[in-house]
Amino acid sequence: MLFRQITHDDLGCASYLVGDAHEGVAAVVDPRFEIDEYLELARYFGVPIEHVLETHNHADHVSGHGRLVAATGARIHIHGAANAAYDHVPLEDGSELRLGSLLIRTLHTPGHRPEHCAFLLIDSRRGAEPWAVLSGDSLFVGDVARTDLAIDSERGAAQIFDSLHRKLLTLPGECEVWPAHLGGSMCGGAGMDAKVCSTIGFERRHNATLGIDDEHEFVARAIARLGPQPPNFEKIVELNRGPLVTSGVEAPALYPHQVLLKREEGALLVDVRTDLQFDDAHIAGSVCIPSFGAGFGSKLAWLAEHDQELVFVGRDDADGRRAARLALAVGLRRIGGLLAGGMTNWRQEGHPVDQTRRVAALDLRERLANEPDLQLLDVRELAEWETGHVSGSLLAPWHDISRLPDGLDATRPVAVMCTSGTRAATAASLLKRLGLRKVVHVVEGGVPTLAQERVAFE
């Protein structure tokens, strides 16, 4: 039997190549937009990809099902409630697909979305019981999926409670759980683990959410812990619903003068280098979103208008091309280009650069004592703020800074902080893009560090 998990670390997504190498047949489950790895694995094992199975219409990334169909002629299988606008085989609870010795049985598990399905994997050469479940966006390692990306969150929570307790948790304890997302994905909660798999029995014992047996309590807790909805998830769902997306988008190399023209025309300049490199020197008006840490695509999707042209600035052309691929993965297809030669070329040609001041979190207490005019802007989420924040600080979650935050004086200096300095880097660049000049990026820690330093808290 053939089984391979393929992860997309930036988005925290997991997809699967399954089949029977002896019989020469395979399927891909929940494919990402970049399909080369599936095709390379299929060639290596000598199996054609004949089927594509979707657990649901994904809301966080663009599926590669269209590209796989174009490349292989495979048939797409998805539940009828997905309302797919492309040719497909409609699934329902109990549907079965045989790939040699592998039997894939569908479990309809609504909650995250009405059409959501999980897939049981049964190796008929070894036994009739399922050895694994591809749980999609229902049961994760350490948590369960959020329920507000398709229908009313309360109704979705009730549905996922039913799907978990009537179907998934009735599976054998030794049945392996292979989810469609790992820790850090926007589709789950804070309890999600980066571990790639688990078992039904282990999750029954150690997944805190599954320990809530009362449906009303489960629903109440599920709703209470929901984070803000990503602004572009509905557009990603529509892309995945069809017509099929079968091609990528080229990212042309732009020379500095062309980049400046793009900026004047309204393009968003996205600097994908480290925050240290950005603070040291960047193009005025660009936004700092480092691409070598997890979550670049999701952060970009929060900030970019869906139809806004994007220009990527990296250390070199390779950085820009990589960022463009990650942008396509979250449905952002208006790629204006990349800065040819990166910031190295920009600086060698003598073009002007802007800088952002940095201060270590451990030094901020002294800075506050010496600069009574300094404002503090906390750019964490509301839930984090409510657990404790620095007295006198203002709250503006990083992804909401599209205008001057309420209460902030643009004429006074402002220190921007989060937990570690990562989100603060993006927020500081957004404030500078709005015209603020006296912006300080708090690094090497943030609010928790100030708490340890006994700065006044509320």
Here the CATH number for the domain that contains residue 409 is: 3.40.250.10
CATH number for the domain harbouring residue 59: 3.60.15.10
Query: Which tokens in the block code for residue 83?
Result: 């309302």
Residues in the chain predicted with pLDDT less than 70, given as ranges, are 149-151, 184-190, 454-455
- Rounded CA-CA distance 384/376 in Å is 16
- pLDDT score for 12: 86
Which residues have a Cβ under 8 Å from the Cβ of 121 and sit 6 or more positions away?
Answer: 3, 18, 102, 103, 104, 130, 131, 132, 133, 134
One domain for residues 231 and 281: no
**Which of 331, 348, 365 is the last residue before a domain boundary?**
348
- pLDDT score for 186: 66
Q: Is 235 contained in some domain?
A: yes
One domain for residues 177 and 205: yes
Q: Is 71 contained in some domain?
A: yes
- Rounded CA-CA distance 343/88 in Å is 46
Domain extent at residue 257: 253-348
Q: Is 245 contained in some domain?
A: no
**Which of 190, 218, 240 is the last residue before a domain boundary?**
240
Q: What is the pLDDT of residues 237-264, one digit of tens each?
A: 999 998 999 988 889 999 999 999 999 9
Query: Which tokens in the block code for residue 125?
Result: 């050469």
Give the DSSP letter of residue 81. Answer: G
- pLDDT score for 201: 97
One domain for residues 151 and 189: yes
Quick one: which H or E segment has residue 441? Answer: strand 439-443
Q: Is 77 contained in some domain?
A: yes
Give the DSSP letter of residue 292. Answer: S
Measured in whole angstroms, how far is the alpha carbon of residue 289 from the centre of its chain?
14
Quick one: which H or E segment has residue 76? Answer: strand 75-79
One domain for residues 131 and 279: no
One domain for residues 366 and 318: no
Query: Which tokens in the block code for residue 380?
Result: 């964490």
Pairing of strands 287-288, 335-339: unpaired
Q: What are phi and psi of 168, to 5 degrees?
A: -65, -45
Query: Which tokens in the block code for residue 453?
Result: 């330093």
One domain for residues 321 and 385: no
Q: Is 259 contained in some domain?
A: yes
- Rounded CA-CA distance 392/387 in Å is 15
One domain for residues 336 and 362: no
Q: Is 168 contained in some domain?
A: yes
One domain for residues 218 and 92: yes
Q: Is 261 contained in some domain?
A: yes
Q: Is 420 contained in some domain?
A: yes
Name the domain count of the chain.
Answer: 3
Q: Please work out, in degrees rounded to the nearest 5, the angle formed at the alpha carbon of residue 406 by the alpha carbons of 402 and 411.
A: 90
Which residue shows structure tokens 């966080």?
60
